[in-house]
Structure 1
């Protein structure tokens, strides 16, 4: 009886091996993505080197769903630059064009005014800035747009605006994972016979 029990142990470990391989592969994929993301942060100098345009305020230059690549360095910000900035109390960064820059000579502090290309008013008058805020300063600016991919960010917009799609996608991926694991186990049992 002990002989049969010992013979069965390797078969059990064979079933655990594909699951362990999938877990390790998933971990390595996630780790690789994080390493690439952190490398991009170091190279570009931006906390978020890639963003998706979620509004139409920069049309016709950038449309909703475009992916922007950002870079931030010590070069001076100039009128005409397209910047991405955060406003205190708002969760989504804003992509707008710089229309005015004031630089104080004594401390090199800059004050920036922005506007969406399609908007009639600048961001101060249009209510984009926080209450009582008249200018952006360098700490508000996440980066400057240096390139873009048109329409490639629509997947992000759809998943963000329609949470049901996100849950359906997660369910479908889980179903594929479960059925592929069952299929792999059936194939292993056939080869062991």
Structure 2
């Protein structure tokens, strides 16, 4: 509580110009993060170039909290590739391995894909929307090209405990407001 009082007192001491400068600095930080994200989207061709593994379905290959880097596969899709896909109206995309690929000869880019989590007993057909037995290229958000282990635990904690997210944003705001140049 004392920290909040001292932060409020510090803000009251600031001149309008200092407050405006701190607001502009915060805006620059947010804008820079958005520009970096958009740059990654353009370079990788993936709508979501970075994702966090949220379940244990790919263990021991990937664990909960690993950060995955994706690109959009332009060449052939092969059995063994690990992809991130979104089939149907699911909010959260799925990270699983391709176990079967069927190319349709009437159209070079048309393929049928079957996936499975490394730690799951059966294939993913139960996860696909009703009536869909195979995935197509349009379901794929990206192919995994690299990862950082466990760094995404912060994201998982913030999703599991929303109060942590609020406290983190409040602490960041206090830091930006009270920091002196």
Identify the TM-score tier after normalising by the shorter chain. Answer: 0.7 to 0.9
**Alpha-carbon distance, 1:156 to partner:** 0.3
**Alpha-carbon distance, 1:107 to partner:** 1.3
Q: Which runs of 5+ in 1 are unaligned?
A: 1-13, 185-193
Does the alignment pair 1:153 with 2:152?
A: yes
For the pair shown, the structure with the greater C-alpha radius of gyration is 1
What is the number of equivalent residue pairs in this alignment?
166
Q: Residue 121 of structure 1 aligns with which residue?
A: 122
Which region of structure 1 is more displaced relative to structure 2, 154-163 or 166-175?
166-175
**Alpha-carbon distance, 1:175 to partner:** 4.4
Output the CA distance in 2 between the equivalents of 1:90 and 1:158: 21
**Alpha-carbon distance, 1:164 to partner:** 1.9
Output the CA distance in 2 between the equivalents of 1:170 and 1:58: 31
Q: Residue 71 of structure 1 aligns with which residue?
A: 71
Q: Residue 188 of structure 1 aligns with which residue?
A: none
CA separation of 1:33 and 1:121: change in aligned 2, threshold 3 A:
same
Q: Residue 133 of structure 1 aligns with which residue?
A: 132
Q: Which has the higher contact order (CA 8 A, sep 6+)?
A: 2
1:26-175 correspondence to structure 2 within 5 Å: 26-108=26-108, 109-124=110-125, 127-175=126-174
Kindly indicate whether the alpha-carbon contact (under 8 Å) linking 2:22 and 2:176 is maintained by their aligned counterparts in 1: no
**Alpha-carbon distance, 1:148 to partner:** 0.2
3-state SS of 1:62 partner: coil
CA shift digits 1:54-97 (9 cap, x unpaired): 00000000000000000113111100000000021110000000
**Alpha-carbon distance, 1:167 to partner:** 2.1
Kindly indicate whether the alpha-carbon contact (under 8 Å) linking 2:26 and 2:176 is maintained by their aligned counterparts in 1: no
Q: Which runs of 5+ in 2 are unaligned?
A: 1-13
Output the CA distance in 2 between the equivalents of 1:150 and 1:91: 23
Which region of structure 1 is more displaced relative to structure 2, 159-168 or 100-109?
159-168
3-state SS of 1:102 partner: strand
**Alpha-carbon distance, 1:176 to partner:** 4.3
Output the CA distance in 2 between the equivalents of 1:45 and 1:177: 34
